[in-house]
Structure formats: C-alpha cells, structure tokens
Structure 1
C-alpha cells in the first residue's frame, strides 16, 4: 500500500479525501493545514499537522493550495527524492522545487464542499518528468477516476482557460440572469429547464450546431431591444460583446 501526504484543506482536498478513503491501495499519511478549526470539519484529527516540517516522507505528496503559494510550499517540504505534485490547472510543473521528483495531478471540475460529486467522472490530467512517476500517477488516477488524461503544462493551461469559459463564465451568466429575474419579480426556477436542456444538447451536438438565439439569426430588432432594456452598463457591454462574438463565428 502506498502512502500519500496532502498539503491544503480547500474544496479540492475535501473531495479528494472522500475518493481516497474508498481506496484500498492508498493510505493518507498526513494532511498539512494552516487552519486547524476549518480542517476538523472534514479531516480526522489524527491525520492533521499544522506545520509542514512535521510531514514525514511519503510515496506521493499532493499540494493543493492557491497557485501563488505552490512554489513556497514545495520549497519548504522537509524531505527529498519523493514524488511531489500540485493540483493546479495553470501552474507549470517546473514551479515545484527540484529537490523532489515533480508532477501534476489536476482534477478538472468545479468543487464545492456542500455539493457531492462522483469523483469517478472527474477528468484527471497528469504530467510527470519521467515515465516511472507518470505510471505511478496513472495508477493513482485510475483508482479514483474513469477519465484520465496525460497533458503537457501548455495543454493543461489551455484547458484551464477553456474551462473558465464553459464553467466560471457560464455561472456568471446565471448570476446576471438571476439578477434580471429578481429585479422583475420572476422566479429564477423558470429558467432551469432551459439551462438543463442547453447543457444537455452539448452531449449530442457541437457548440456550433447547438447555438440558437437572436444573435445567430442576426435578429437586430430583438438584440437592439435587449440592449435598450439593460440599465446596468456592464451587463449591456457583456450582451453586446457576446452578440458580436456569436455573429463573427456564424
């Protein structure tokens, strides 16, 4: 059985912990955290260390912290010649200190502690400096997920940009839609069947084929009316920009 150290206690760690707890091939040795109080909500106290220097050498160390902290954290790991990976979508493998063997274990998903997911469906994107380490990461990934990909740092960075468009930006569109509904005494729930069907269509059609609406029809009477309706100047500019982008790609 291989052992794993985890550094961090955010949303990714929460879901990784649930998945790893179901594995008979891997054992979590320690989890290094900054805030003991928050960590105790979901991490067994006997696994927690609050000082990174308390970490004992292990087979694989997973760093799951904010991108800005990855380099410093990897510098401060108290052991050498182990496999250390980060879970970032945009950070290059080379940011990790080379006193340890370096890799990436990036789960492509939006994670919230109050929303359970099936980790078996989460795409895991892997990178390592040598074949043996890549094989070790593949074994771990295959234990947790049915969707495993080997990607370079540049590919992963491109993927993360694409993910922001299809997830984070889309969610902000929900926010704007909700604001418009609230301002006009309309329940946001009325839009949920439309949201569901729009998301479902992408399983059967390409994004180009699935595109509908006044912009793709060049229905200027409707788009002009929508722009006139929008009082919030930021929302108006977003509407204009997306309309223009859709029409440029028809």
Structure 2
C-alpha cells in the first residue's frame, strides 16, 4: 500500500496527514466536504484536495477518518475502486460497518486523543488493526508499521473494549481536570495550581505496574470524615456531589481487592 486517499478533515485526519508526510506512503488526496479544513489537511502532506466524488483519486488505500455514524454512509457513497483497501479509523465501530461490496475491508484504529493544531508523535501511538481476510493482514500490518512502532491485532469486540478503556483513561480523566478547575476557580485560584499535581499523577501511573498501586487520597484510606466534608462543600452542585461519592466508593471497593 504505497498510495493513500484520506477521507475526512477532522483532528484525526490532520494527525494522519502529518504522519503520512513523514512515513513514506504517499497521501495523494484528501476528500472532505469542509473546503477550508480539507485544503489545510491536504497541504500538510503536499496532497490534492477535493469535495467532489467524481474527482476521487485512485489509490491503494482509502482511510476513512470520519465520525462513527458516517462510516457506512460515506464508504457506500464514494466510487472507491473494488481492488482497493478500505479502512475506517473508529474504535467503537465494527469492521462490518463497511459495506460488504468491498472485498478488502479493514480497521486502522490509533489509540490516542487528537486536537486540532497539536502535533503528536505517531510512532508512539498503538495502532489496532482488523482485516476482512488473512490475505490482507501482512499488507495492512506493513503499512501500519511505517507509521507506528506498536501495531496490534484486535477484533471488533476487543477494539470496542479498548475504546471504552480510552474513554475512562482520557475523556473522563480530562473531565475530572475540568471539575477540579471549577473548584479552584471558586476559591479564587487558576488552573495552573493543579498542573504539577496532574503531571505527577500521570507520571506515577505510567511508572507503576498498575495505577491501582499508586492510588492516594481520602477514599483509598477510608477517611469518611474528610469525604463527608467534601460532599458538604458540593451540596450546591448535586451532579458533582454524585460524581464525588460514586468515584470515592469505586476507589474504596477496588482498594479492598488489592
């Protein structure tokens, strides 16, 4: 797979364009409805852009970096050559969401959070693959290894669980940072005071065999008095109080199993 058409212009498409520009496979075209974003993503890899299906370029691989709900619809609507590989990049979407008319279907799922304008080292990102046939496996793996040092095979059920784990480890964790920010701002302070704590918490988890081994705080100690004071402070924020008590209970229950 030497040539690629990238379908989409969102955060993941931007990261893929940057990675392809450095890795060797040629990004020949970006297909995207958003002209401004599509042209920007295409320029990152010196590729062409189009929003016209009839102008879709020929390539070995068509990578669909679109929203989960659009995977099947977009794939079915484009005149993709029957001999090409068609791969979506969604963690929670099964392989068979791609129309069965494509004989060479695949999944190319990078486990990372992507933000517009923020560069990431794609070589450090685990990529999870799935293919519709054994014959496609070696070809797909060789392509993925040109972008990342960590390539794993996972079926749709495994990948859905990996995606769920990512929601806990990334999306929920970041939301906890946002809630923490709201508490310190209520005390007249800025988010910066929490950044060293966040950095050390992440560093400890990365260094540990398991994040359970480095859990701290009143919940893991069973400090009910402190928890009660915290919950009283959140009395005016019932949703935050529920989150606090639910997570505290979860920490305590998990700590008893260690």
Question: Under a length normalisation based on structure 1, what TM-score does the superposition of the two structures give?
Answer: 0.95
Aligned counterpart in structure 1 of residue 215 of structure 2, from 201, 211, 222: 211
Query: What does the per-residue CA deviation read over 1:163-206, in whole Å, with 9 as the maximum and x for residues that have no partner?
Result: 00000000000000111111111122111111111111122321
| Paired residues, number | 249
User: Which residue of 1 is the match for residue 66 of structure 2?
Assistant: 65
Distance in 2 between residues matched to 1:82 and 1:38, nearest whole Å:
25
Q: In 2, Cα distance between the equivalents of 1:23 and 1:210?
A: 37
Structure 1, 51-60 or 142-151: larger mean CA deviation: 51-60
Deviation at 1:233, TM superposition (A): 1.0
In structure 2, stretches of 5+ residues that fail to align are none
Counterpart-to-counterpart distance in 1, 2:200 and 2:125? 21
CA RMSD of aligned residues (A): 1.4
SS of the aligned residue for 1:68 comes to helix
CA drift of 1:46 comes to 5.7
Task: Find the aligned partners of 1:167 and 1:70 in 2 and give their Cα distance.
Answer: 23
Distance in structure 1 (CA, Å) of the matches to 2:96 and 2:197: 43
User: SS at the partner of 2:127?
Assistant: strand
Is 1:187 paired with 2:190?
yes
Output the CA distance in 2 between the equivalents of 1:156 and 1:54: 33
**Alignment check: 8 A CA contact 2:89 2:108 kept:** yes
SS of residue paired to 2:145: helix
Q: Which residue of 2 aligns with 1:127?
A: 130
In structure 1, distance between residues paired with 2:23 and 2:201: 36
Match of 2:83 among 78, 81, 86: 81
Question: Unaligned regions of 5+ residues in structure 1, if any?
Answer: none
